[in-house]
Structure 1
Amino acid sequence: MRLLFALLERVPDPRTGNATRHNLLDVLTIALVASICGCESCVEFADFAAERETFFREFLSLENGLPSHDTFSRLFRLLDPAGLSACFGAFLAALGSDGAGVVAIDGKTLRRSFDRAARHNPLAVVTAFASASRLVIGQESFRAADGESEILAARALLNCLDLDGQLVTADAIHCQSETARLIRARGGDYLLRLKANRPALHQMVAAYFADPQTLATLEGAQTTDGDHGRIEVRRAYVSHDLGWMRGPKTACTEPATLPDLACLGMIEATVERAGKTTVTRHYHLASRRLSPTDYLAAARAHWTIENGLHWVLDVVFDEDQARNRKDNAPENLAILRKLALNVLNQARPGISVRRKRKRSGWSDEFARSIIGQMR
């Protein structure tokens, strides 16, 4: 339990007066453990505590009894999300992990966090996800209606991370010179998807890889996957010779390259399904001289944020149905869900997150085996 307390004991308490009746560490610990055990809302946190009071008294003081659902609700509305976000750093430090390898950056909207009365759009969150360890290492929120954007939120998040030696992957929206420069300044390398939002550069790179003679001279790698009734063949090619980009072909209205660009990559994906074949090509820019095999693995690793984080939050944690709207509650509860997922991903390997949540809710002994590994 020492890691659990290390996550939460440094969170600043925003409450005053009689609102401090319940110890902050007790309330946050109950909420995190309840989330690990399958609870989704403040009402469920309170109900779970009432049903498992004996279990919680094994490691919490609960001097003034159990907190009500109103106590949980008020706390998460008041709590500074930056203070709760710092728990990600405490988690990684206690594990002796820095999330090394591929760090995927991606945004997700909390669909039911809109507030019509306050005329607020849904809250969106940009998350940094360590693909190898499947750990969330940070998040930053924004609301598009307030003049914020995923690009600015991602830069704010990256500016808080130590990226030394890590490869940061992101979608085409983040294929920006300033974002690339920030990643390099933080000690990392970038692998950014290139699409038509940078039209001149995209056209140049696509034309380069479309030349059969050029393609024949490049290093390549291939993988084949068969799953869910389809066969997918991925062929990756990389080019470290960028001299051609500095010639007449660079005459365009936008900067031709990103800072410290060292590698161009193209993945050709051929998918056969139900007798139909589709071929798509994806392009990337990288500041690291990747081999075709490493490039293919890194591009594939980026999608772990979709199936290892976003999908799990939506399907297992039912995040898209979370109806918290007021003040800081949507962001704080999004952080809480990701902390719970970090704990679940580190405990009892070989059992799915869904099963671990269900069994933790059914059995005190199983719950102890999940939170007990947080030493």
Structure 2
Amino acid sequence: MLKKTLRAVRDAGGDWLVKLKRNCRRLYAECEAQTDGEPLSVSDTTERTRGRVVRRVVEVYAPPAWHDDWPEVGRVVRVTRSGVRDGEAYERTGLYVTSRTDGAARLAEVVRWHWHVENRVHWCKDALQREDTGGVRSKAGAAVLSLIRGVTLSVLRHNGEWSPTAARSRLASRVREMLSILRT
């Protein structure tokens, strides 16, 4: 899976960041083993927002041995998020591989931007528009519906609707208002 992803990224050019998932057992284990040593750099930040306190520790490591086969891999990044949410303590750790060779502070920004995109686009399409539960069988049909969902989010945001849930509730029975938004 990573080789296919890296091949597509290499063809597209530019820097990239891929979050590793535990279901890719071998790849995840190799990168996790890489984080047993001393990191090349560390960034430790604490943030207080919306009644939460979140601590993020970003550690940057050299790539694993298979790096020679895939020179596009510049670093392995481990991000540990911990804090208190709704009165409950939590700790989450994520692993990433990236083409970048920046230090931990810069890679922390890149990871945050990755999650910004994930939260603003992918989560809205998955959770609110139920994109993953669609019964579309063809790749072309799924691609078209995904494009329509993305355009819908863009149009709403262009018109000042930052909460797709609130917009859906407000516009559900207001066909004229919905059409006027689409005309802009």
Taking structure 1 as the reference length, the TM-score comes to 0.39
Match for 1:220 among 37, 43, 47? 43
Contact in 1 for aligned 2:44/2:55 (Cα 8 Å): no
Q: 1:309–1:361: structure 2 CA closer, same or farther, 3 Å change rule?
A: farther
Indicate the RMSD between aligned Cα atoms, in angstroms.
Answer: 3.7
Contact in 2 for aligned 1:263/1:289 (Cα 8 Å): yes
Matched, 1:309 2:121: yes
Rounded to whole Å, the distance in 2 between the matches of 1:350 and 1:287 is 35
Structure 2: give runs of 5+ residues left out of the alignment: none
State the structure with bigger RCO (CA 8 A, min sep 6), 1 or 2: 1
Match for 2:71 among 240, 259, 270? 259
- Residue matched to 1:181: 7
- Residue matched to 2:30: 201
Rounded to whole Å, the distance in 2 between the matches of 1:327 and 1:282 is 30
- Residue matched to 1:294: 106
Q: Which AA in structure 2 matches 1:362?
A: R
1:183 deviates by 0.8
Kindly name which structure, 1 or 2, has the bigger radius of gyration based on alpha carbons: 1
Q: 1:318–1:218: structure 2 CA closer, same or farther, 3 Å change rule?
A: closer
Rounded to whole Å, the distance in 2 between the matches of 1:326 and 1:183 is 24
Q: 1:319–1:234: structure 2 CA closer, same or farther, 3 Å change rule?
A: same
Percentage of matched positions with identical amino acids:
22
Q: 1:342–1:361: structure 2 CA closer, same or farther, 3 Å change rule?
A: farther
Match for 1:349 among 153, 160, 163? 160
Rounded to whole Å, the distance in 2 between the matches of 1:181 and 1:320 is 25
SS in 2 for 1:177: helix
CA offsets 1:212-245 (integer angstroms, 9 cap, x no match): xx34x62424242444x65321111334x66xx6
1:356 deviates by 3.8
SS in 1 for 2:13: coil
Q: Which AA in structure 2 matches 1:371?
A: L
Structure having the larger proportion of residues in strand: 2
Rounded to whole Å, the distance in 2 between the matches of 1:278 and 1:354 is 27
Paired residues for 1:158-169 under 5 Å: none
Structure 1: give runs of 5+ residues left out of the alignment: 1-173, 209-213
Q: Which AA in structure 2 matches 1:201?
A: E
Contact in 1 for aligned 2:15/2:98 (Cα 8 Å): yes
Contact in 2 for aligned 1:221/1:296 (Cα 8 Å): no
1:322 deviates by 5.3
Q: 1:225–1:317: structure 2 CA closer, same or farther, 3 Å change rule?
A: same
Q: Which AA in structure 1 matches 2:81?
A: A
